[in-house]
Amino acid sequence: LAEVHPGAEGGGAWAPLFGFLVHTGARPAEALALEHRHVDLDARTVELPGLKTDLSWRTVHLTSRGVEAIRSVPRAIPTRKVFHVGGRPVSWPYFTREVWHPALVLAKLEPRAPYFLRRIYAFHCLQPGVPIATLPRQMSQSTYDRPFITDGGWGTHMSAQAAARLDTGIAGRYT
């Protein structure tokens, strides 16, 4: 999150969308299609309106930052959408060109698509030990090999942590 938050902090009205994408693994189109009827803040869940495949409609449990992202967007009478600009739909080309790319420059990051936030979500799920096999359903991926190929490789530091834990366990048993 440290890479994304500098852009989100300077994102002003866009910060909730940044935060929601990072903390849910939602595809950008899913976030923009999200309506208030899909949100249950008491249960801390959202029903992501899967747009890519029949299986992509799914329930995602929200982190506290995901809840805050939704709560921080004022409701607007002209739209049912959670994320909007003064009651009007978000223009994805505008967002990418005028918000996303400048945020990357501010954060001193290399150019990448907003879709990359899904990879950051996956990485941050893996860091505390969420089983990699659970990511495909959470992220509505059609195959189980995607997280192992794309996201598992990012967690190489986890190998060092595993080795250290094994050393600690082994040392405790044989000393």
Q: What is the pLDDT of residues 13-59, one digit of tens each?
A: 788 998 898 888 888 888 999 999 999 999 999 988 766 666 667 78
Q: What is the DSSP letter of 55?
A: G
Distance CA 168, CA 148 (A): 27
pLDDT digits (tens, 9 = 90+) for 96-116: 898 889 888 988 888 888 877
d(CA 43, CA 167): 40
Residue 93, pLDDT above cutoff 60: yes
Instruction: Please report the pLDDT score of residue 6 as a whole number.
Output: 47
Q: What is the pLDDT of residue 43?
A: 93
What pLDDT is recorded for position 65? 87
pLDDT in tens, 58-87: 788 888 888 999 999 999 999 999 999 889
* Whole-number pLDDT of residue 7: 44
The b/e string for 101-120 (b: 16+ C-beta within 10 A; e otherwise) is eebbeebeeeeeebebbbbb
> For residue range 146-172, what is the model confidence (pLDDT) as tens digits?
555 555 554 445 555 666 666 666 555
Q: In what order do the strands lie in the sheet with 39-40?
A: 39-40, 45-48, 58-61
